[in-house]
Amino acid sequence: MKHTEMSLILMTLFAPVLFSCGQIDEYPIFEDMPFALVTADDGMSATISADIDNSERTISFLFVNTVLLDEVTVEFQLNPGYRMVAPADEVCTMDLSSPAEVTVRSEAYGEMTYSISATADIPLTGAEMTFRGGTVEAEVDHSGKTVTFRIEGIHTSEYPSILLADAVPVFKLSEGYTADEVRDSWDLVSGEELTVRKGPAVYTYTVKAEIDYEPVEDYLSDFDIHKGVNLSYWMVVDGDDREWLGYVTPEQFPLWKELGFDHFRVPVSEDVLFNEDGSFHTLAVDKLHELFSWCSQNGFRAILDMHELMPREGTDSYREEDLYDPAYADFRSHFVEMWGRIAEEFSRHDNRYVAYELLNEPHDGTDDASAWSSLQDELLSAIRSHDPERVVFIPSMGWQDYNYIKFASVNAEDDPNVMVSFHYYLPMLFSHYKMLAWQDYQGSIQYPGLVIPSREDADRWPQYAYFHQITYNASRIAGEMKAAAEAGNNVELKVHCGEFGCSKNVPEEMRMTWFADMISAMDAAGIPWTLWESLGGGFGFVDEDGHGGNRINCELLEILTGKRLSQEEADAILEKYGLTTWK
């Protein structure tokens, strides 16, 4: 130990005694040395010492844990014979964001003024990011090593991990510091690490978002539906002139209400709703606004169903698998952005009467709907950004097979306005008898009982022989409707049957029995439904004569809605709404 250091220790220990004996002037060691120690609270429960230069009369702090230099608690520990002048107290709060002065006095040496200053050499002085057009400043906790963005204005029905994916933080580093990470996106919801370096020093911060969610109101409870019809071909027929959009007119909207129905499902094709240049087709949009306004005014409900997408650019036909292929990310983004535009366009309509359905009969090729699930989150996020409380129907996978309801999920914080929709046409050979992909089978069918009752027919059409081994009846259908409802309960979602129907080629007695069993089963399970087709077609309750004439199948209408009409009464209703009847 040096002689000078030993002298300082001894003087510190014995100075009070020497001073009281009047001998202090004999020890010039304290001349021009008023401060034994100057310390400060760094704001993070730590104390740091200043560098005191008595020759230059400066007191300097170097902070590495805080940037709050305008309110620093400083403690001056004086050598014997000195007292504070300005500030007067030995412990005080000072603004060190710019140099200040400290004055002390000694009877032996008079007044001395020191310059006191502080600098902050912290790794990270701040961070900011742009979100929804505004700048969000982060809170930096150097003690806990966290960078926190506090986000407001996100509803519980939204998807912050998607919303914040493009919100890239910009970090403000002190001179000489560098950050390891350079990223195009951050997972701010789960939190990610930022490493900052200066020489051998390494600091690791957790970068995260804390979200103050806004609750959403439950509108699904008011979206009261039981018996509906699909406006099956109104918005899905391609054509440049769109004149056929007039085949359903506002004057006809009340028809279905009078017949006992309470909601529409409105299948819409992308190439009907949009022009080739991506703009909305004015007539199609106006027709939908017209329908939705009527529904809101008349206590009817409507579900806008995205039924068909246009083919991916450069192809001739729509392939759903392209939505899940990373090679076609633009195609997927286009679909997501399209739903955002639809939600923005129709957001003005009453949430109690107008709903959306994401996509008709998707089939992602997985056993657990995992490919669709991530796309569904993106679609819902696009919708919720414009319409956070809209009722939305999400489809079950496997062409909306009820067996896939168990994989349905809503990954938002809290979204009470989602319902899962399935379709039911089982057994397919029966419900699509001599129609569409099943038209090559010309043998016999049966309901209830074995779907193909004849061994000879099963042998003649071996590709359908399976149907000679399975039986469908009221009990089976009731069990499957019960299973659908229970699957919905298990995933905490209400269930809706968005399509069902039976070919008019089926013998009438069997067809009526199947419909009666379906309605009974869905009613028992508490499942609301929409019949496929409303006017004409091969599945519904209105028959056509091939010359523009229409006739209600009164027996089927009574099964569906309980509305009992004679044929004359039914014809009168059609004529009242401007429809030609079957003569």
Q: How is 476-505 classified by DSSP, letter by letter?
A: HHHHHHHHHHHHHHHTT-EEEEEEE---TT
Cβ-in-10-Å burial (0-12, 13-18, 19+) of 26 comes to exposed
Helix (H, G, I), strand (E, B) or coil at 243: helix
The answer as to whether 466 is a domain residue is no
Asked if 528 and 554 sit in the same domain, the reply is yes
CATH number (domain holding residue 37): 2.60.40.2340
Asked if 163 and 201 sit in the same domain, the reply is yes
ω before 311 within 30° of 0 (cis)?
A: no
Closest CA to 166 of 131, 208, 212, 142: 131
Residue range 47-99, pLDDT digits in tens: 889 999 999 999 999 887 655 788 899 999 999 999 999 999 999 999 998 99
Q: Which residue has the higher pLDDT, 472 or 247?
A: 472
Helix (H) or strand (E) holding 294: helix 282-298
Residue range 423-450, pLDDT digits in tens: 999 999 999 999 999 999 999 999 999 9
Asked if 386 and 496 sit in the same domain, the reply is yes
Token pair recorded at residue 3 = 């002689």
Q: Predicted confidence band at 536 (pLDDT cuts at 50, 70, 90)?
A: confident
Alpha carbon separation from 536 to 152, 361, 555, 579, 581 (Å, rounded)? 51, 22, 16, 12, 12
Mean predicted confidence (pLDDT) in 355-365: 96
Alpha carbon separation from 396 to 45, 486, 498 (Å, rounded)? 55, 14, 11
The answer as to whether 582 is a domain residue is no
Q: Which of 100, 120, 140 is the last residue of a domain?
A: 120
Asked if 157 and 56 sit in the same domain, the reply is no
Helix (H, G, I), strand (E, B) or coil at 306: strand
Q: Which domain holds residue 151?
A: 124-214
Counted domains in the chain: 4
Q: Residue 308 and residue 360: Cα distance in Å, rounded?
A: 7
ω before 427 within 30° of 0 (cis)?
A: yes
Q: Which residue has the tokens 């004359």?
A: 568
pTM: 0.83
Asked if 116 and 128 sit in the same domain, the reply is no
Asked if 190 and 338 sit in the same domain, the reply is no
Q: Are 416 and 218 in contact (CB under 8 A)?
A: yes
Query: Of 11-25, 130-144, 557-571, which has the strongest mean pLDDT?
Result: 557-571
The predicted pLDDT at position 3 comes to: 38
Cα Rg of the chain (Å, integer): 39
Listed range (6-20, 134-148, 260-274) with the worst mean pLDDT: 6-20
Q: Which residue has the higher pLDDT, 43 or 203?
A: 203
Q: Which of 70, 87, 120 is the last residue of a domain?
A: 120
CATH number (domain holding residue 411): 3.20.20.80
Q: Are 105 and 120 in contact (CB under 8 A)?
A: no
The predicted pLDDT at position 251 comes to: 86
The predicted pLDDT at position 20 comes to: 44
Kindly tell me if the per-residue pLDDT of 245 is higher than 90.
no
The predicted pLDDT at position 44 comes to: 64
Kindly tell me if the per-residue pLDDT of 1 is higher than 60.
no
Token pair recorded at residue 24 = 């202090």
Asked if 273 and 363 sit in the same domain, the reply is yes
Asked if 163 and 237 sit in the same domain, the reply is no
The predicted pLDDT at position 238 comes to: 57
Asked if 187 and 169 sit in the same domain, the reply is yes
Listed range (27-36, 248-257, 553-562) with the worst mean pLDDT: 27-36
Q: How is 111-132 classified by DSSP, letter by letter?
A: EEEEEEEEEE--SEEEEEEEET
The predicted pLDDT at position 31 comes to: 86
